[in-house]
Structure 1
Amino acid sequence: MHTRALRTTYFPRGNSGNSHRDNWQRFFRRGFNPHPNHLLYSVMGANVAVYALFVLSDAQWKRFNDPRWMRFMLKNFTASWYNLSSGRLHTLLTSSFLHTRVDSLIFNMLTFYLMAPHAIAMLGARTFLALYCGGGLAASAATLSNPSNGASGAVGSTLGFFAAANPHATFSLYFFLPVQAWMAVGGLVAWDAYNTLTSPYSVGAHKSRLSGTLAGVAFAMFRMRAIGPRVPWR
Structure 2
Amino acid sequence: MVKNFMISVDNIRSGRLHTLITNAFSHIKQLDIISNMITLYFFGTAIGRYFGPQYLLKLYLAGALAGSIFYVAYKAFVAPLFHKIDKRGFPHSHAPALGASGATTAILLLYIFLFPKKTIFVDFIIPVPAALVGVLIIGKDIWRVLQGDREIAGSTHLGGAAVATVVWLQKRKGRFGRF
| Letter aligned with residue 141 of structure 1 | I
| Letter aligned with residue 153 of structure 2 | A
* Greater helix proportion: 1
TM-score normalised to the size of structure 2?
Answer: 0.80
Q: Given that residues 79 and 95 in structure 1 are in contact (C-alpha distance below 8 angstroms), is that contact kept between their aligned partners in structure 2?
A: yes
Determine which of 169, 173, 180 is the counterpart of 2:129. 180
**Residue 54 of structure 2 corresponds to residue 126 of structure 1:** yes
Deviations 1:139-171 (A, max 9, x none): 100112332225111111110110011111112
| Letter aligned with residue 212 of structure 1 | G
5+ residue gaps, structure 1: 1-72
Q: Percent identity?
A: 30
5+ residue gaps, structure 2: 76-94
Q: Given that residues 32 and 99 in structure 2 are in contact (C-alpha distance below 8 angstroms), is that contact kept between their aligned partners in structure 1?
A: no
Q: Given that residues 160 and 214 in structure 1 are in contact (C-alpha distance below 8 angstroms), is that contact kept between their aligned partners in structure 2?
A: no
- The equivalent residue for 1:114 is 42
Aligned-residue RMSD, C-alpha: 1.9
- The equivalent residue for 1:213 is 161
2:4 alignment partner, SS class: helix
Partners of 1:131 and 1:173 in 2: how far apart?
Answer: 23
Partners of 1:152 and 1:215 in 2: how far apart?
Answer: 13
Tell me the CA shift for residue 218 of structure 1: 2.3
Partners of 1:188 and 1:112 in 2: how far apart?
Answer: 16
| Letter aligned with residue 160 of structure 1 | L
Determine which of 156, 176, 179 is the counterpart of 1:231. 176
| C-alpha distance 195-85 of structure 1, shift in aligned 2 (>3 A) | closer
- The equivalent residue for 1:154 is 103
- The equivalent residue for 1:75 is 3
Q: Given that residues 142 and 207 in structure 1 are in contact (C-alpha distance below 8 angstroms), is that contact kept between their aligned partners in structure 2?
A: yes
| Letter aligned with residue 56 of structure 2 | F
TM-score normalised to the size of structure 1?
Answer: 0.62
Q: Which has the higher contact order (CA 8 A, sep 6+)?
A: 2
- The equivalent residue for 1:7 is none
Taking the TM superposition and a 5 Å limit, the aligned residue runs for 1:57-68 are none
